């Protein structure tokens, strides 16, 4: 089999890149390790920057997003019973849209299938070969049968545990990582959200987040120990703990119900450099991970897709390699700013096991400064709605 771009990974970043390339007449094959149902069953964040929304529009996949997505003009931050609002549109003129990552992926799969794009599922033993030569190709197996794709380029959109990053030699790769000493216990419930905007809560008992997927589907999180397991928490225990961590007036309004999904996610910051090696390009979680605080994971992957798509388009349409040659530099410049914001916001809102009384006073002072200072609120709003590409 031959194609112009082999895309490893059938999640949202790989599918978005494939659809954007398709609309410019650039051929691709998508290889996915799991089944389509498995990919669509993964529960992920749902706060979309306008940059991602615009890419979905360019991909021709934004109709349902605009029809069903919830436009958020701001977010709420609490500490104790004090709560204040960061107004995105006042400070930046731009909102975010709450629309689940699963729905983004569903829309992209529908477009891929309508376009007749080649997608292989249940792919095993993927090996990227010759990425540093002019004979780049990918070998893999499907149901035990060996296959090969010859290609011009490979886009590694296969996540933190995928093969793409590992293909880059260790003497070329430089990796940076921070592991946080806690996780997020999250539940999904068929209940109305406690508030029409997200609430990020700093509590003496730990962080909490009140989010939603739509008007009757809520997503809630609480900071928990890395040693906890989802089964350690009954629904009743979760709701009681969440109520203790959010302002009393919000807790009184909280509608509880049985969880339909419950999971624990560890938090880490991770970046690998460079994001290009020869004809191989890393996108999204294959190259970087951010804590979920501030919802930058999918959005940062989208900015990678933006830079790579435009670089490949320039290569095929104009014969210029300038875009792909500068891909890693441009992508990493924005990635590190998103990493900084996610690290800062996580540090502001969570309780750390080694925090001293001085550290806690500094955290409150930082929250007070953010509450009362318009310049600080503007800086946060600019980062939250997404820095320009």
Helix, strand, coil share of the chain (percent; to 5): 40, 30, 30
**327 in catalytic set:** no
Residue tagged active-site, from 200, 221, 307, 327: 200
Is there a catalytic annotation at residue 200? yes
If one counts every other C-beta atom within 10 angstroms of the C-beta of residue 81, the result is: 12
Burial of 318 from C-beta contacts in 10 A (0-12 / 13-18 / 19+): exposed
- Domains present along the chain, CATH in parentheses: 2-72+96-177+267-346 (3.50.50.60), 180-266+350-385 (3.30.9.10)
Catalytic residue among 292, 309, 330, 350: 292
Instruction: Give the separation between CA 154 and CA 129, rounded to whole angstroms.
Output: 10
Do the beta carbons of residue 367 and residue 79 sit within 8 Å? Answer: yes
Q: What is the largest CA-CA distance in the chain?
A: 64
Residue 209 has a pLDDT of: 98
| pLDDT of res. 114 | 96
- Split the chain (389 residues) into runs of 10 and give each run's mean pLDDT: 97 97 98 93 84 98 96 96 97 96 95 96 97 97 96 97 97 97 96 97 98 92 97 98 98 97 95 98 98 94 98 98 98 98 98 96 98 98 97
Q: What is the pLDDT of residue 260?
A: 94
Token duo for residue 198: 């997200």
296 is catalytic: yes
Cα separation, 288 vs 285, in Å, equals 5
288, 296, 306, 330: the active-site residue: 296
**Rounded CA gap, 256 and 210, in Å?**
12
* Dist. CA 294–CA 340, nearest whole Å: 11
Catalytic residue among 72, 91, 288, 306: 72
Nearest to 300 by CA among 255, 339, 258, 245: 339
């Amino acid at each position: 089999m031959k194609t112009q771009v082999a895309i490893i990974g059938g999640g949202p970043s790989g599918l978005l890149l494939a659809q954007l390339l398709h609309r410019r007449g650039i051929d691709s094959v998508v290889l996915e390790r799991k089944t389509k149902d498995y990919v669509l069953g993964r529960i992920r964040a749902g706060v979309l920057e306008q940059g991602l929304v615009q890419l979905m529009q360019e991909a021709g996949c934004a109709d349902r997003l605009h029809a069903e997505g919830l436009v958020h003009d701001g977010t709420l931050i609490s500490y104790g019973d004090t709560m204040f609002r960061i107004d995105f549109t006042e400070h930046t003129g731009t909102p975010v849209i709450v629309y689940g990552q699963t729905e983004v992926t569903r829309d992209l799969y529908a477009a891929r299938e309508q376009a007749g794009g080649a997608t292989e599922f249940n792919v095993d033993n993927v090996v990227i070969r010759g990425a540093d030569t002019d004979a780049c190709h990918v070998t893999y197996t499907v149901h035990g049968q060996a296959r090969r794709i010859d290609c011009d380029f490979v886009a590694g959109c296969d996540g933190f545990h995928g093969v793409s990053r590992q293909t880059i030699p260790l003497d070329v790769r430089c990796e940076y990582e921070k592991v946080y000493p806690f996780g997020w216990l999250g539940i999904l419930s068929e209940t109305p959200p406690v508030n029409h905007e997200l609430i990020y809560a700093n509590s003496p008992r730990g962080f909490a987040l009140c989010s939603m997927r739509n008007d009757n589907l809520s997503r809630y999180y609480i900071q928990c120990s890395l040693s906890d397991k989802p089964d350690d928490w009954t629904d009743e225990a979760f709701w009681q703990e969440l109520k203790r961590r959010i302002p009393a007036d919000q807790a009184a309004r909280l509608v509880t119900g049985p969880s339909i999904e419950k999971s624990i996610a560890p938090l880490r910051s991770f970046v690998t450099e460079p994001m290009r090696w020869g004809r191989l390009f890393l996108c999204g979680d294959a190259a970087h991970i951010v804590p979920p605080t501030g919802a930058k994971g999918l959005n940062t992957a989208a900015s990678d897709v933006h830079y790579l798509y435009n670089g490949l388009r320039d290569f095929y349409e104009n014969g210029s390699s300038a875009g792909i040659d500068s891909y890693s530099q441009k992508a990493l410049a924005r990635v590190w700013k998103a990493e900084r914001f996610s690290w800062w916001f996580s540090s502001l809102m969570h309780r750390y096991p080694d925090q001293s009384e001085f550290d806690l006073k500094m955290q409150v002072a930082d929250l007070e400064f953010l509450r009362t200072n318009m310049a600080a609120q503007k800086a946060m709003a600019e980062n939250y709605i997404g820095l320009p590409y």
